[in-house]
Structure 1
């Protein structure tokens, strides 16, 4: 689904449940202005609003890889943008039963393009700076809960994700994370049909008012 209104263009990625929002930027001699998030534009694109329960901000130095992370259902949708520097954010389909299971799609988010990446419940992602330092802000539909977090090793050789060419800096948790196939065997990955049902539930609830 692609769409455009007065404040931003929206395009759906090849992995179901993920979208890129491209806000319209209004520059002048003072600087610039843009709407990073517009509830009407979001609802028009997805058929339901984004309920924000938490807003996160992280600063990372070059070489850092954060991810690959997802959240078990009812999940945590995320709406992320890079406010300083630049990152590559890689969306990975870890939903069992998905026709695109194991596929990924990289998206560049920069302080210049001002793009925003939305990932619905069950969609996994990770990101790495393309500049010496990058700051990312993201809206979350639910608060963080360690017990529902899903991790997949970002350097899984079977995934072969296109990270920047740098010595990777990982958290202890990400370094110990299982590969995608190991996570599948452990039974920790989200179910695609359940994710689809969740998206339909959100749209039905919005339509009911």
Structure 2
């Protein structure tokens, strides 16, 4: 009798495990994160330069810290699709040639991002890997303070498609759906910067952005 009961319990446990796993399918997870954005910003090409920049002119974009909202839909317990919502703001400064000069001021960026993620389950800790696409949408760009005295009236940064890799982990905090999450993304995307004097294109440069985006915060799954 005891052996029969043990076999029955074992069979029930084996049947319940996949059923419980299926409970994650169709769930939504919302994350509120603090995010550190660290772009590169260096010049890779100078297609147009009627001003005559020093040959060794090089630039970098400053880092920023912003709040981020992430929304994730679980297609299955292992696979999910995630998008994020945030806006970052950056200056671009010269670090050589015109060292210290502010070339772009308060450039506001919306990095529209979608990733597909695969989740592992390690007894309550769920690491994941992901990859996807991004569209860098510059919604406002101002000429740098040091370009205005030179006659620059308008500065633009081109919107661009790019690629993103992702890794992180979700940690459940009890059974209520609350959790803690850490996340790292590496973006691969460029932009073209243009400085105009009136209607004349004075300088055009290609820049590698390729930011690291590191986040941590709270999650809720329902």
| Normalised-by-shorter TM-score class | under 0.3
Larger radius of gyration: 2
Q: TM-score, normalised by structure 1?
A: 0.23
Determine which structure has the larger strand proportion and give its number.
2
Larger proportion of helix: 1
Q: What is the TM-score when the length of structure 2 is the normalising length?
A: 0.22
